[in-house]
Amino acid sequence: MRMCLVLLSCFTFSLSASSFAQQERVSLKMKEVTVKMLLDEIQRQTNLHFIFNTEQTNSLGKVSVEVKDETVETVLVRLFEGTDLTYSFKGNIIVVKRRADEIQGQQQQSMLRVAGKVTDEKKQVLPGVTVRLEGTTVGTATNSMGVFTLMLPVREGFLEFSFVGFKNKRVRFTETSDSLNVVLEEDLKEIGEVVVTGYQQIDKRHLTSAVNTVKMDDIDVPGSNRIDMMLEGRIPGLTFMQNTGQVGAAPKLRIRGTSTILGSQEPVWVVDGIIQQDPVNVDPAQLNDLDFVNLLGNAISGLNPNDIERIDVLKDASATALYGARAANGVIVITTKMGKIGAPTVSYSMSGTFTQRPRYTDRGFYMMNSKERVDVSRELMEMGVRYNGVYDGISDWIGYEKAYLDYFMDSSISYDEFKRQSQWYETMNTDWLKILTKDVFSHNHSLSISGGSQDVRYYASIGYADEQGNVKGEENKRYSSALKLTATYDKFSAQFGINGSVTNKKYNPDELNVMSYAHSMNRAIPLYGEDGEYWRYKKDGSMYSQFNIVDEMKNSSRYIDQYSVSITGQLQYKFTEDFKLIGTGSYQFNYTNEEEWFGEDSNHTALLRANQSKYASTCPFGGTLKTITTKNNSYTLRLQADYSKYLGMERQHFTNVMLGYELSSTEYNGVAEEVRGYYKDRGKTFPTYTINQPADFEAYYAYHRWNANNNPVYTDQLTNLMSGFLTLTYGYDDRYILNFNARADWSNAFGSRSNEKLFPVWSISGRWNISNDVLKDIDWIENLALRLSYGLQGNMMNNQPTRLIIKKGDYNETLGGFASTIGAYPNPNLKWEKTHSYNVGLDFSFLHGKINGSFAFFYKKTKDAFLSKKVASQNGITNYVVNAGDVENKGVELALYFTAIDNALSGKGGKRGFVWRIDPQIGQTLNKLVNTAINKNNKTLQDEITVKDLLDGNAYIAGTPLNTFYSYRFNGLDKMGIPTFKGLEDELKDELIEKYNEMALSDKKDVWMEVLGESGTRVPTLQGGLNNYIAYRNFSLSFNLAYSIGNKIRMFKLCSGDYSAVNPKPHNNLRKEFVNRWRGPGDEKNTNIPGIRTSLTAQGNSADVALDYGWWRGYSAWTPITSTNASKYELYDYSDLRVVRGDYLRLQSLSFRYVFDKELIQKVGMTSAYISLSATNLFTICDKKLKGQNPEQSGTSSMVNISVRPTYSVSLNVNF
């Protein structure tokens, strides 16, 4: 028979005499109740406690008792009279058992009482710890003070202690054991059973919110220096976008879609309970731009991943409500490592990483080789390109074109020389990628020490990361340090932490656009001329400067130096075991200095010198230096009270109340300045001169005028926030949990209307632990829980004041006085942006933990979303923020943790057996703009968008997902090899002109929507990963496959821009697709690649103008093109033919690890050690139509970024 021992109440002290216990008196009047209910009532009226088997007492059925002031023994005699049950007193404990067991027990030794207290390593008591006699079901649980008492039928043996999030412990007892003090050690393997929100640590059995937790050890990728880069494919519902492989660039992260349009869409980063600030307050419009490359980093760029213990991602309103309005985009909580009890442990880890540079053999470079490009040049010459001193804006003929000019037009070379040069250019194949990029080796080092006692623990570390970029001249170096102290004394506990980092980044200026140059530069052009000097050409139509990319890189640079310090302290006082007061304070300082330099020998500076005339030059000597300095100071003060208690005779009621107050302030100060005449190589000096005569001023007129108008730009932004927050939690019998969270913010950033109507952030949520209720008897279900939540969050934009703010300017010579401008327009009627959030989740664990996971469905709707509306410039501004839209996000998430095989211990020698775990993650998010301010028949916000916005995915259209982009509808090539488009047909010219003129009278955007077609969204709708872990003995192998589905990508330009198919410039390369271009009538049936066109200006043929530019060119009121000079070839690059699926599957990481035998390493003084080989980004499977284009980078960008490169690492970790 299964024994179910129930100890109805734990106690510390017992009465010394059984006879006194037997004389306790009770008054009872109970009808048709169970024996258990009767004994409960006796216990309530006395100091007695019962131990019994419920299966035995249930056999008595229902009983009725009515007595007044009777002894307990009298009641028990009547109760058990005529049954096979009896009782015995052991002090104030009454043991009920079968009579046969009593007879046998009298022949054995008497019961042994064992009591004790259970705490953690911080001396915090642990209520609810399971205490069992080894090998039996005899046991109990600690009370709210961590105390337990057991009556045991044996005189010696072992007790087993188990608790969620802690390692099981086995403790010996004997008959001389009086009181046991048991300390449980945190179990990192079970770290997921406790959720960290930054304000609280919550038992996962009580969690009502949508939170995903990952351990740093599970996602750590050797050679990767950024925690945000390691999250790809690890968190369902987190969208990861990385449009560049440049060192130090921050990825774009979205949690459950986009809840705001104008505000920042990035999640909030929290480290050890404190919100982290970005080092530079980048404009949200830039951060939200999917083509923007953020080299300044985010709030955790300086954090060493080796100092991180775990990451908790808070996703729904219930989880994020305590962070207020800032958390509408989700919260990522990082918990750093802390010291462990014991002797000092020194840990050292290092990794060396080889990163492979791009090569023309990569799939990512589908560009022409020299022979193919010369073939294009030859075709142009045969088509009769005319040279009239300027070649389509280029005054320099180079390469094959120069040889052609010298032979056919100037007759300066012979035919043999022309032929020799032609063959030379055809076989040149200049490797611009090798010239501009390099294979690099990076290394990362971290040293830490940890240890302490139960009273004081410490953790300290230093780290150094040297990350070299594949683009020559680019690197990212980081120096980091961390210190964390934890102390406990009596009822006090304290924690102090400090993190510091120094980051030095070096890049090429954006103006150089190095990777775009490598893509677009003709491979038939050499780096060096035959004289051994750099081969130079006049770039971008310049008449005054000669350009060479390598020389330009030597004479320019961009430096970003960042210094960061974060100090956090916490003091806790426990008034009782149930009630504590916690005070937290934090201070953060970030300093960023950016420098962009162009030397006096650079092409950039040469362009400023114009024709070398002192009068016209804005930089007559030296070079240029642009500096941007940003300082960020922020502090947080928090005081919170926390009350937690188990109530009831069986501790079936759980209550938690947390109430707090928080004060925070964030200030950004900055200055941006450009100076000219800078000599970097002469001690970083500037020229000194004096204007004595008007002639001195006239000699450098342009330079002095530039100086007069060039003033530093200062920024000063202060945000103060005062907040109150509340959490209420109630749980019954570990089956039903209810939670309420609320927070109210008062800020100097809020408008008056919002202050009059204080809009608190709040949520209500619940959890039903089904496995503890209706399914509690099903052995193969360890956990099954249903979660529900609803929350309301608000958001208010910065810089939206209730009154007009005037910015006082300097003296204006023209006006004859000081001038002022509008700093901010009054916006008192702006309302809160409100987000309603719904979440349904199901957590499960089956088959003894072999299958774990969670499923969730969410729905978020943001009402009164902020949108920008154009207003008349007479107001002094051109845009005005209004509440004009609703945004909807919905999706599903699935996280699985499947242990296929787990033979952790083999039968011999205790060595690890075979283990195989599979962790698939799926997250789907769909969003759309539900409505906007509708303008007649138009679904767009009135007067706000341009056709370029539609083409790039920056327009907000009702009923469509955010970041939806549009394209011209390709309709094939005509007989001349020129693209045609639906809605712009030549044969329907008169009909379409009349139609579009009429539509434009209402709104010209109606014409655009008629001509363009919807292509899709630029943001993936489904992302996830598939992580595998395989281990045997001392070997382990892990890999993570990351996938992304649902977005569309515009391919790199084929016919316009740097790859123009209309008279391609001699130095520009073309994409390899042009090999299969239209070459003559009839080819339009077999290819959709347009033919090469000669310069229209050179031909002077108005018919050609009509052919290439279309009949719509003169209708400027509604012309559906990107610019007034755009041709059909530019429309071709923005057509639906150049749109492909952005789905991909990437081998994100692969790691092989070997753990050294302890017997071996202990001989050299180590406690543990392992070595690993790993690789990242080994392959990406995507649409073959991309022709190797990075599926995470769109052709809408003006720059071609370096792709995320494959890396190969070796790492070593040792502990002493």
pLDDT at 585: 96
Per-chain mean pLDDT for the chain: 83
The pLDDT tens digits for 42-57 are 888 887 877 777 777 8
* Same domain? 543 vs 582: no
State both tokens at 171.
Answer: 């403790």
* Other CB atoms within 10 Å distance of the CB of residue 128: 18
Contacts (Cβ under 8 Å, ≥6 apart) of 972: 979, 980, 1084, 1088
Q: What residues contact 22, with CB distance under 8 A and at least 6 apart?
A: 71, 72, 73, 89
Res 655: pLDDT: 93
Whether 103 and 120 share a structural domain: no
Cα separation, 572 vs 581, in Å, equals 6
The Cα 998–Cα 133 span in angstroms is 89
CB atoms within 10 A of CB 475: 17
Q: What pLDDT is stored for residue 100 in this prediction?
A: 64
pLDDT of residue 550: 93
Is 863 among the domain residues? no
Report pLDDT for 689.
Answer: 62
Residue 554's Cβ-count burial label (10 Å; 0-12, 13-18, 19+) is middle
Torsion of CA 131, 136, 137, 141, to 10 degrees: -10
Beta-strand ranges (E) seen in 524-574 are 556-574
Same structural domain, 374 and 225: no
Domain interval for residue 623: 555-748
Q: Determine, yes or no, domain membership for 900.
A: no
Written as six digits, the tokens of 554 are 């030597």
Q: Match 């410490």 to its residue by tokens.
A: 458
Amino acid at 914: F
DSSP at 766: E
Q: Is residue 1081 part of a domain?
A: no
Among 565-574, 1095-1104, 1175-1184, the least confident range? 1095-1104
- Average pLDDT score over residue span 178-202: 74
Angle, helices 370-382 vs 415-426, to 10°: value is: 140
Question: Residue 624 — pLDDT band, cuts 50, 70, 90?
Answer: very high
Does residue 66 belong to any structural domain of this protein?
Answer: yes
Distance CA 1214, CA 1216 (A): 7
Q: What angle do CA 1031, 1035, 1040 make, to 5 degrees?
A: 55
Phi, psi of 845, deg, nearest 5? -150, 120
CA distance 35 to 65: 10
Q: What is the pLDDT of residues 252-274, one digit of tens each?
A: 999 998 888 888 889 999 999 99
Tokens of 178: 């009086």
Q: CA–CA separation, 639 vs 547, rounded Å?
A: 62
Alpha-helical regions (H) of 475-545:
514-520
* Size (the chain), residues: 1216
Do 559 and 673 sit in the same domain of this protein?
yes
Last residue of a domain, one of 79, 108, 137: 108
> To which H or E segment does residue 380 belong?
helix 370-382
* pLDDT score at 332: 94
Task: Read off φ and ψ for residue 178, nearest 5 degrees.
Answer: -95, -55
Do 536 and 396 contact (CB within 8 A), yes or no?
Answer: no
Local confidence band at 103 (pLDDT 50, 70, 90 cut-offs): low
pLDDT at 33 exceeding the cut of 60 = yes
The residues, ordered by sequence, that sit 6+ positions from 823 with a Cβ below 8 Å of its Cβ are 805, 806, 807
- Give the pLDDT score at 690: 55
The proportion of the chain whose per-residue pLDDT surpasses 70, expressed as a percent, equals: 85
User: What is the spatial distance between Cα 41 and Cα 54, in angstroms, rounded to a whole number?
Assistant: 16
Measured between alpha carbons, how far is 525 from 549 in angstroms, rounded to an integer? 12
Tell me, yes or no, whether 55 and 144 share the same domain: no
11/6 Cα distance (integer angstroms) = 14
Same domain, 90 and 218: no
Q: Are residues 155 and 234 in the same domain?
A: no
Confidence of residue 440 (pLDDT cuts 50, 70, 90): very high
Domain end among 81, 108, 135: 108
User: Residue 641: pLDDT band by 50, 70, 90 thresholds?
Assistant: very high
Residue 532 phi, psi dihedral angles, 5° rounding: 85, -5
- Specify the pLDDT at position 754: 47
Residues 401, 320 share a domain? no
Q: Count structural domains, the chain.
A: 6
* 479, pLDDT greater than 90: yes
Confidence (pLDDT) at 125: 80
* Residue 936's pLDDT band (cuts 50, 70, 90): very low
What secondary structure letter does DSSP report for 34? -
Residue 768's SS3 state is strand
Per-residue model confidence (pLDDT) at position 298? 92
Helix/strand/coil (H, E, C) string of 106-124? HCCCCCEEEEEEEECCCCC
- Residue 390, pLDDT score: 42
- Between 806 and 561, whose confidence is greater? 561
Question: Measured between alpha carbons, how far is residue 1109 from residues 238, 630, 1102, 1119 in Å?
Answer: 44, 47, 10, 11
Q: Which of 89, 108, 127 is the last residue of a domain?
A: 108
Show the tokens assigned to 1083.
């080819």
How many CB atoms neighbour CB 149 within 10 A?
22
Model confidence at 1089, pLDDT cuts 50, 70, 90, reads very high
Q: Look up residue 413 and give its amino acid.
A: I
Closest CA to 225 of 241, 244, 248, 242: 248
CATH number of domain containing 66: 3.55.50.30
Buried b (16+ CB within 10 A) or exposed e, 426-452: bebebebbebbbbebebbbebebbbbb
Asked if residue 1117 has pLDDT above 60, the reply is no
Cα separation values, 235 from 221, 250, 322, 517, 777, Å: 16, 18, 21, 37, 32
pLDDT surpasses 60 at 693: no
65 belongs to a structural domain: yes
Which is nearest to 443 in space by CA: 311, 327, 352, 517? 352
Contact present, 1145 and 920 (Cβ < 8 Å): no
Record the tokens describing residue 586, joined without a space: 């934090």
Question: Between 722 and 1064, whose confidence is greater?
Answer: 722
Which DSSP letter does residue 940 get?
B
646 and 572 fall within a common domain: yes
Same domain? 26 vs 153:
no
| Mean pLDDT along residues 830-856 | 89
Both tokens of 944, joined, read 């706000």
The per-residue pLDDT for 671 is 94
Residue 122 sits in a domain of what CATH number?
2.60.40.1120
- Of residues 723, 741, 793, the one with CA closest to residue 259: 793
Q: For 964-982, b where at least 16 C-beta lie within 10 A, e where not — what string? A: bbbbbbbeebbeebbbbbb
Q: How far is CA 995 from CA 207, 636, 931, 1118, in A?
A: 60, 61, 27, 12
Which of 630-644, 768-782, 945-959 bottoms out in mean pLDDT, i.e. has the lowest? 945-959
For residues 605-614, give the mean pLDDT.
78
Asked if the model's pLDDT at residue 11 lies above 50, the reply is no
pLDDT tier for residue 1 given thresholds of 50, 70 and 90: very low
How far apart CA 34 and CA 345 sit, in angstroms, is: 57
Domain contains 223: yes
Percent of residues in the chain assigned helix, strand, coil, to nearest 5: 20, 45, 35
Q: Say if residue 714 is in the same domain as residue 567.
A: yes
Query: Could you identify the residue written with the tokens 């010696």?
Result: 156
- Burial group, residue 352, by CB count within 10 angstroms (0-12, 13-18, 19+): middle
Q: With 60 as the cut, is the pLDDT of residue 3 above it?
A: no
DSSP character at residue 164: T
Kindly provide the residue ranges of all beta strands, DSSP E only, lying in 1047-1097, ordered along the sequence. 1048-1050
CATH of the domain at 204: 2.170.130.10
pLDDT above 80: residue 950: yes
- pLDDT band of residue 1170 (cuts 50, 70, 90) is very high
For residue 4, is it within any domain? yes
- Residue 938 has a pLDDT of 40
pLDDT digits (tens, 9 = 90+) for 109-120: 467 888 888 988
Ordered DSSP codes for 386-418: PPSS-BTTB----THHHHHIIIIIS--S-HHHH
Between 927 and 360, the more confident residue is 360
In a domain, 1048, yes or no: no
162 and 227 housed in the same domain? no
Q: Which residues pair with 1180 in a beta bridge?
A: 1146
If we measure between CA atoms, which residue out of 1121, 1133, 1130 comes closest to residue 1011?
1121
Sign of the Cα torsion 505, 508, 509, 515 reads: negative
Most confident of 701-705, 850-854, 869-873, 1124-1128: 850-854
Quote the Cα angle for 947-833-955, to 5°.
10
